[in-house]
Amino acid sequence: MKGLLRVMSPFAPDQSGAASVFYDMNAITVICDAGGCTGNVCGFDEPRWQKNARPIFSAGLRDMDAILGRDDRLVDKLRLVSDKSDADFAAIIGTPVPAVIATDFKALKKMASKRCGIPVVTCECTGTNLYDKGEEMAYLELMKTFTRDMDVCEGRVGVLGATPLNFSDIEADKLIRKHYMEEGFSEVLVYGMGDGLDSVRMAASCEMNIVVSASGLAPARWLKKNYGTPYRVECPFAGEAAAKAAGVLKHSKVLIVHEQVAANSLRDAMEDCDVTVATFFTLDKNIANEGDVLVETEAQFIELVENGGYDAVICDELLRRAVKDGTYGIWINRRHFAVSGNLEEGLCEL
């Protein structure tokens, strides 16, 4: 049955992805919910929160707010916070409640910007989609609202798609910066991790963008279309991870189940293996190989693993629960925080 999970747990939802992008942006982030979604975002999907809490708020919606559509009350509450804050902007993120009552986010954005006197961005998340959709929506909303035409600055590179949900590491941005500085860039802007709104404002000045996870594809394309910025798609560190796997998996038939860009990069580095990439998240046809799989149900995943004839499966170890333990070859853990909610101890670990 579609949507029925008997052995797996739900993955990080779109509102968690959107909140993750805004986390380091000096924003007032308001999750338009009754409280539970905020609890999930902060208490489970945002690993930076325990160490470094940010101004994230729940709208604290109650039944009559939803039934009567009292957006004005939400704006009043936001103003109480924004009046005393030097945040660069406010971000309002949707959840199932506004989705059910069909909140007009465009109107909400306009009304809140006017009343609060600061820029407001909105992400029409529904809680039914996955985190990468929320990240994509947040990047696009930021770029469309704040990025302005600028001269290209040689040596400056933008990184799209770096969040703890993708990289399972709260300091991935540092490693990413180091990686691309060593490659020869003089300035690395990691949107949403470590870099604030200024990086978004000057996104058009990058000589190149690097898409490190699938959520960065759409904003990279938007930046290319509007400002001509070229981009390339790759997940750094995959080579080292693959090298570790290589000793075990020579000439094997391998299934990699992960976020698409990470999985692709791992495959690229495992030249002597026959690798299929599968993902529960975005499968962009433009960067997929023939035979790559978009997994839409738990049953499909089980079928793929049990009957695919793979010698090895590389994925977050939580997914192993779905199949009969130990029956289907070698399992190698490649953390994916959006799946298990567990952090990687080191990015290159397998």
Partner 1 sequence: MNKQDAFYITARDLADGGIEGVPSELKSQDHLIYSSPAALSFNSPGAQGFGVKRAGLAVPGSVMLLVAPACCGRNTTMLAELGSYADRFYYLLQDDTDIITGRHLNRISQAVKDVADFHEESTGTRPNVVMICITCVDALLGTDMDRVCRKASEYAGLPVLPCYMYALEREGRVPPMTAVRRTVYQLLEPREKKSTTVNLLGHFAPLNDDSEIYELLRGIGVKKINEISRCEDFDEYLGMAEANFNIILNPESRLAAEDIAKRLEIPSVELTRMYRIDKIRKQYQLFAGAIGAKIDDSKFYDEAAAKVEAFARENKGKRVAIGECMNADSFELALAMSEYGLTVTEIYGTVSAERMPYIKMLAELSPETRIYTNLEPSMLYYDSSELPCDLTIGIDAGYYHPDAPNVPWNLEVQPWGYNGLIRLIEEIEGVL
- What residues line the site for partner 1 (CB under 8 A)? 1, 3-6, 9-16, 26, 30-31, 33-45, 49-50, 53, 55-63, 66-67, 77-78, 80-81, 84-87, 95-97, 99-101, 126-130, 318, 340-341
Q: Output the smallest distance, CB 157 to partner 1, in A.
A: 30
- At position 293, the amino acid (one-letter code) is V
Name residues whose C-beta falls within 8 Å of residue 120's C-beta, 6 or more positions apart in sequence: 89, 90, 91, 92, 109, 112, 113
Q: Which is nearer to partner 1, 187 or 344 (CB)?
A: 344
Token pair of 99 as six digits:
């989705």
Render 181-195 in DSSP notation, one character per residue.
Answer: HHHT-SEEEEBTTTB
Length of the chain: 350
Beta bridge partners of 158: 189, 209
Q: Which is nearer to partner 1, 36 or 119 (CB)?
A: 36
Q: Output the smallest distance, CB 130 to partner 1, in A.
A: 8
Q: Output the smallest distance, CB 1 to partner 1, in A.
A: 6
Q: Output the smallest distance, CB 193 to partner 1, in A.
A: 20
Burial of 277 (C-beta count, 10 Å sphere; 0-12/13-18/19+): buried
Q: Output the smallest distance, CB 341 to partner 1, in A.
A: 5
Q: Which is nearer to partner 1, 86 or 290 (CB)?
A: 86
Long-range contacts of 69-72 (CB under 8 A, 24+ apart): 69/101, 69/103, 71/103, 71/104, 71/107, 71/108, 71/111, 72/111
C-beta separation of 178 from 126 below 8 A:
no
Q: Which is nearer to partner 1, 70 or 179 (CB)?
A: 70
Q: Which is nearer to partner 1, 128 or 186 (CB)?
A: 128
Q: Output the smallest distance, CB 283 to partner 1, in A.
A: 18
Q: Which is nearer to partner 1, 50 or 186 (CB)?
A: 50
Token pair of 108 as six digits:
């909400």
Q: Output the smallest distance, CB 87 to partner 1, in A.
A: 6
Distance between CA atoms of 190 and 331, rounded to whole angstroms?
Answer: 32
Q: Which is nearer to partner 1, 101 or 152 (CB)?
A: 101
Locate tokens 């009552």: which residue?
A: 101
CB atoms within 10 A of CB 20: 29
Name residues whose C-beta falls within 8 Å of residue 326's C-beta, 6 or more positions apart in sequence: none
